[in-house]
Chain A
Amino acid sequence: MGTAPAQLFPEFIVDTLGLDSVIGEVAASLVAAFVVGNIILAFTGVAGPWAKRKITAAFTDRIAVDRIGPFGLLIIPAAAIQLLAKELIIPEGVDRPSWDIAPIILPSSALLGFSVIPMGQLGPINLHLADPEVGFALVFAFASIASVSLVMAGYASNNKYSLLGGLRAVAQNLAYEIPLIVTAMSVVIFSGTLQMSGVVGAQTETLVTIAGVSIPSWYALVNPFAFVLFLTANMAEIGRNPFDIPEAPTEIVGGYQTEYSSAYFVLFYLGEFVHIFLGGAILAVTFLGGASGPGPESISFIWFVVKIWGFFLFTQWARAALPRVRIDQLIEIGWKGMLVLSFANLVLTAVIVGVIA
Chain B
Amino acid sequence: MSLERPDRVDDDAVERTPDELEALLGDLVVDRDDHLNAPGFVIRPDTVQETLRTLKEQAGYDHLSVVSAQEYENRYESIYHLKKYDDPTQEVSIVVPADKDDPVSESAEPVFRTADWHEREAYDLIGIEYDDHPDLRRILLPETWQGHPLSMDYDKDRPQIATLPEHANPLEDHHKDAESDTMFLNIGPHHPATHGVLHLKTVLDGEQVADVEPDIGYLHRSEEQMAQSGTYRHQIMPYPDRWDYISAGLLNEWAYARAAEDLADIEVPEYAQVIRTMGAEMCRIAAHMLALATFALDINGDFTATFMYAINDRERVQNLLEDLTGQRLMFNYFRLGGVVWDLPEPREEFFSKTRDFLDQPPESVEEYHNLITSNEVFQMRTIDTGILPPEVAKNYGATGPVARGSGVDYDLRRDDPYGYYDELDWDVVTEDGGDNFSRLLVRMREVEESAKIIEQCVDLLEDWPEDERNIQANVPRTLRPDDDTEIYRAVEGAKGELGIYIRADGTDKPARFKIRSPCFSNLQTLPEMANGEYIPDVIAALGSLDVVLGEVDR
Contact, CB under 8 Å: A250 / B377: no
Indicate whether A54 reaches chain B with its CB closer than 8 angstroms.
no
Contact A60 B307 (CB under 8 A): yes
Residues in chain B near residue A253, CB distance under 8 A: 191-192
Among B185, B207, B297, B301, chain A packs the most CB atoms within 10 A around the CB of: B301
> Contacts A59-B305, A60-B308 known; A323 to B300 CB distance under 8 Å?
yes
Query: Which of A61, A320, A328: most chain B Cβ within 10 A?
Result: A320
List residues of B (40-97) whose CB comes within 8 Å of A's CBs. none
Taking a contact as CB atoms under 8 Å apart, the answer to whether B303 and A56 are in contact is yes
The answer to whether A321 touches B191, judged by C-beta atoms less than 8 angstroms apart, is no
Q: B536 to A327, Cβ gap below 8 A?
A: yes
Are A62 and B381 touching (Cβ within 8 A)? no
Tell me, rounded to whole Å, the shortest Cβ–Cβ distance linking A321 to chain B.
6
Query: Which residue of B183, B297, B308, B309 contacts A160 across the interface (Cβ within 8 Å)?
Result: B183
A323 adjacent to B303 (CB under 8 Å): no
Interface size for A (C-beta < 8 A) is 29
Interface contact A323-B378, CB-CB below 8 Å: yes
Binary contact track A46-84/B, C-beta < 8 Å → 1, others 0: 000000000010011110000000000000000000000
Asked if B380 contacts A325 (CB within 8 A), the reply is yes
> For the complex, is A103 an interface residue (Cβ under 8 Å from B)?
no
Question: How far is it, in angstroms, between the C-alpha of A171 and the C-alpha of B372 when the chains are bound?
Answer: 27
**A165-199 interface code vs B (CB 8 A; 1 in, 0 out):** 00000000000000000000000000000000000
Asked whether any CB of chain A lies closer than 8 Å to the CB of B431, the reply is no
Interface size class of B (residues with CB under 8 A): 20 to 34
Q: Which of A161, A244, A326 has the most CB of B within 10 A?
A: A326
Chain B: CB-nearest residue to A55: B303
Bound: A319/B299 CA distance, A? 12
Q: Is B312 engaged at the interface, CB distance under 8 Å to the other chain?
A: yes
B438 to chain A, nearest CB (A): 17
- Are the CB atoms of B381 and A323 closer together than 8 Å? yes
B222 at the interface (CB under 8 A from A): no
B539 at the interface (CB under 8 A from A): yes
Q: Which residues of A contact B371 (CB under 8 A)?
A: 321
- Complex contacts, B207 vs chain A, CB 8 Å: 164, 327-328
Question: In the complex, which residue of chain A has the Cβ closest to the Cβ of B376?
Answer: A323
A248 within 8 A of B: yes
The contact string, 1 if C-beta is below 8 Å from chain A, for chain B 341-366, is 00000000000000000000000000
Near B by CB (< 8 A), chain A positions 216-266 give 241-242, 244-245, 248-253
B377 touches A242 (CB 8 A): yes
Find B377's partner among A56, A245, A322, A327 (CB 8 Å cutoff).
A322
Question: Min CB distance, A207 to chain B, in Å?
Answer: 33
CA distance A250 to B381 in the complex (A): 14
Q: How far is the CA of A112 from the CA of B534 in the complex (A)?
A: 36
Which residue from B183, B309, B375, B537 sits with its C-beta under 8 Å from A60?
B309
A323 touching B375 in the complex, CB below 8 Å, given contacts A160-B183, A241-B301:
yes
CA distance A244 to B298 in the complex (A): 13
**Bound CA span A147–B427, Å:** 53
Cβ of B381 and Cβ of A325 under 8 Å apart?
A: yes
B residues within 8 A CB of A61?
305, 308-309, 312
Q: With an 8 A cutoff between CB atoms, is B302 at the interface?
A: yes
Query: Is B193 engaged at the interface, CB distance under 8 Å to the other chain?
Result: yes
Could you say which residues of chain B place their CB within 8 Å of the CB of A244? Answer: 301
List of A residues within 8 angstroms of B381 by Cβ = 323-326, 329
Interface string of A314-353 (1 = CB under 8 A from B): 0000011111111111000000000000000000000000
The answer to whether A250 touches B297 (Cβ under 8 A) is yes
Q: Are B299 and A323 in contact (CB under 8 A)?
A: yes
Contacting residue for A250 out of B193, B305, B537, CB 8 A: B193
B537 touches A326 (CB 8 A): yes
| Chain A residue with Cβ nearest B380 | A329
**Bound: A58/B161 CA distance, A:** 50
Q: Would you call A320 and B536 a contact (CB within 8 A)?
A: no
Q: Are B300 and A249 in contact (CB under 8 A)?
A: no
Please, which residues of chain A bring their CB within 8 A of the CB of B375?
322-323
When A248-B536, A249-B192, A251-B193 are in contact, do A324 and B301 touch as well, CB less than 8 Å? yes
| Cross-chain contact A251 with B536 (CB below 8 angstroms) | yes
Also in contact, A321 and B534, with CB within 8 A (given A61-B312, A250-B192): no
Q: A276 CB to closest chain B CB, in angstroms?
A: 14
Q: B183 contacts A319, CB within 8 Å? A: no
A321 closest partner in B (C-beta):
B305
Contact B534 A328 (CB under 8 A): yes
Does residue B474 face the partner (Cβ distance < 8 Å to A)? no
Chain A proximity of B223: nearest CB distance (Å): 29
The answer for the CA separation of A161 and B381 in the assembled complex, in Å, is 21
**Interface: B327 (CB within 8 A):** no
B305: contacting residue among A164, A251, A320, CB under 8 A: A320
B511-552 CB mask vs A (1 if < 8 Å, else 0) is 000000000000000000000001111010000000000000
Question: In the complex the two chains form, is B305's CB within 8 Å of A60's CB?
Answer: yes
Report how far A242 CA is from B299 CA in the complex, Å: 10
**Chain B contacts for A249, CB-based, 8 A:** 192, 301-302
Expressed in whole angstroms, the Cα–Cα distance for A92 and B305 within the complex equals: 38
Question: Sorted from nearest, which 9 A-B pairs have the closest CB atoms?
Answer: A60-B308, A250-B193, A320-B305, A323-B378, A323-B300, A323-B377, A60-B305, A326-B536, A323-B299
List residues of B whose CB falls within 8 A of some A CB: 183, 185, 191-193, 207, 297-305, 307-309, 312, 371-372, 375, 377-378, 380-381, 534-537, 539
Give 10 A-B pairs besides A322-B300, A325-B380 with Cβ atoms closer than 8 angstroms.
A60-B305, A62-B308, A248-B536, A249-B192, A251-B535, A252-B535, A323-B300, A324-B301, A326-B537, A329-B381
